[in-house]
Structure 1
Amino acid sequence: MALRFIGIDPDTGQQGSPTVWVDDEARELVLQGWKPDARLAAECDAFAVPGHAPGIPSHEAVIRIPVRMVPILREACDAAERTGL
């Protein structure tokens, strides 16, 4: 795996922290974030869009990333595009 660190929540302390990587080999963005609370998880689980069944498949997860990390996410997108993601 060619995992490349892009950035971490700038307001993090020494506790758990949302983080962004780019996996150049798999051609994916990799995100670490906070688990949703029960209300948000239920809302996401019930959400449906055309062509997509409601619910979160067991092999997927919903995570939360703070808005202050938007510049880091943009950087990850730019880095991924530069490597042909």
Structure 2
Amino acid sequence: MKLRFIGIDPNTGTGQSPTVWVDESKNELVIQGWKPDQELEAECAAFEMPGHAVGIPDHEAVIRIPARMVPILRKACDDAERAELR
């Protein structure tokens, strides 16, 4: 796996560190964020629509990141997309 650091929460000085990387070997985003509270996780687990089963599989997780990181996510998406087109 080759991770390329894209960005970290600009307010990370508070001791928290939501972070975004691009896995260049798989063209995927890797995101570190905060664990949700039980209420949010339950709401996500109850969500149902075609192609999305109820529940959260053991190999998946719900995370939270601050909206101030949207520019960092955009960059990660653009970088991953460009890598995929190469």
TM superposition score category, shorter chain reference: over 0.9
Higher helix share: 2
**What secondary structure sits across from 2:4 in the alignment?**
strand
C-alpha distance after superposition, 1:16-55 (max 9, x if no partner): 3100000010221000000000110110111111122101
Counterpart for residue 20 of structure 1: 20
TM-score when normalising by structure 1: 0.93
Q: Tell me the TM-score normalized by structure 2.
A: 0.92
Q: CA deviation at 1:14?
A: 5.7
Q: Which amino acid aligns with 2:37?
A: D
RMSD: 1.2
- Kindly tell me the number of residue pairs found equivalent between the two proteins: 85
- SS of residue paired to 2:29: strand
The list of structure 1 runs, each at least 4 consecutive aligned residues, that deviate by more than 6 angstroms after superposition, is none
> 1:69 matched to which residue of 2?
69
- Identity percentage over the alignment? 73
Q: Determine helix, strand or coil for the equivalent of 2:31.
A: strand
CA distance in 2, matches of 1:27, 1:10: 24
Listed as ranges, the gaps of 5+ residues in structure 2 are none
- Write the mapping of 1:35-46 to structure 2, written as runs, cut at 5 A: 35-46=35-46
